[in-house]
Amino acid sequence: MVRPATVAPLRRHRTRLAWAALAPALAAVAAVAGWPLLRTLSLAFTDARLATIETARWVGLENFAWTLSDPDWWRAVFNTLVFAVCSVSLELVLGLAFALLLNAGLRGQGALRAVALVPWAVPTVVAAQVWRWMYHDVHGVVNELLLGLGVIAQPVAWLADPALSLAAVILTDVWKATPFVTLLLLAGLQTIPAPVIAAARLDGAGPLDLLIRIILPLLRPAIVVAVLFRALDALRVFDLIYVMTSNSRATATVSIYTRQALIDFQDLGAGSAAAVLTFALIGMVAVAAVFALRPATGVAR
């Protein structure tokens, strides 16, 4: 060995190694998340347009004032919240039902689980197009089925009717995301030890008691996580709505509104203000959910 015999103390050496290994990922996070977010923040206080970023002037809170006084913005906030609350609760209820079903020891469970992955794996754009076709007012299979069953008397323009379009989009999201919730809850169910269930049965718990008093409390961490993940996704929904109903005010969400301002209207200032507000909305929900999550997983950590 010709190297000098002294090296840095082991622990410090290892710490330096860790930082070196971590640095590229941190740099990437800074580049694709940190910096763009800071840019968005600073642009929100300027009159920048897509073509004139360099000459942008500071305008203070003007963009925020403008956005917050825009009825379209509030419509988008309303749509986003309705979309998130409805789709996530439906997904949770259906997902729980399907998870219990898949955990019930049916034959062909593996196949069912594989099937559950299909809607999750289908690209959102594809899901949007397929459902858009199924919702078609003249040739759509949804109208055909409902007419055949006598639920509706005449064809319905699901996506064109402002009263129905949001519900139609929500149903599509439910189709696409329920499997994800199902798989998370199924994983949670499978961590409940069988003896616990057996003990509850011996103690005389009926199926409903079992569900409410044993399974749901034990499933709480999985439920909270599923809701958190789904809520985050639902609050920033874009693809589905962009493809299914494009510019309809009846379904525009905050993400749609923001991109429209940024790209279609080329108004970087107002768009960035909307982006900041969107981020704040989602951040608040995430922080609330993380706090709700804490006590449940505190022990597991």
Name which of residues 251 to 290 contact other proteins (CB under 8 A).
254-255, 258-259, 262-263, 268, 271-272, 274-276, 278-279, 282-283, 286
| CA dist., res. 80 & res. 87, Å (int) | 10
Closest CA to 214 of 198, 232, 237: 198
Any contact of residue 152 with other proteins (CB under 8 A)?
A: no
Q: How far is the CB of 243 from other proteins (least distance, A)?
A: 5
Any contact of residue 36 with other proteins (CB under 8 A)?
A: yes
Binding residues for other proteins, total number by CB under 8 A = 105
Residue type for 72, please? D
Which residues in 46-65 contact other proteins (CB under 8 A)? 53
Any contact of residue 299 with other proteins (CB under 8 A)?
A: no
Any contact of residue 125 with other proteins (CB under 8 A)?
A: yes
From the number of C-beta atoms within 10 Å of its C-beta (0-12, 13-18, 19+), residue 148 rates as exposed
Which residues in 77-116 contact other proteins (CB under 8 A)? 97-98, 101, 104, 106, 110, 112-116
Any contact of residue 238 with other proteins (CB under 8 A)?
A: yes
Any contact of residue 119 with other proteins (CB under 8 A)?
A: yes
Task: Pick the closer one to other proteins by CB: 66 or 238.
Answer: 238
Q: What is the largest CA-CA distance in the chain?
A: 90
Any contact of residue 242 with other proteins (CB under 8 A)?
A: yes
Of 71-79, 84-92, 157-165, 227-235, the window that binds other proteins (rule: CB under 8 A) is 227-235
Which H helix or E strand runs over 292? helix 268-297
Q: Which long-range contacts (CB under 8 A, 24 or more apart) does 114-121 make?
A: 116/179, 116/182, 116/183, 117/179, 117/183, 118/179, 119/175, 119/176, 119/177, 119/178, 119/179, 120/176, 120/177, 120/179, 120/180, 120/183
Any contact of residue 40 with other proteins (CB under 8 A)?
A: yes
Which residues in 168-197 contact other proteins (CB under 8 A)? 175, 179-180, 183-184, 186-188, 191
Number of neighbours of residue 272 by Cβ within 10 angstroms: 25
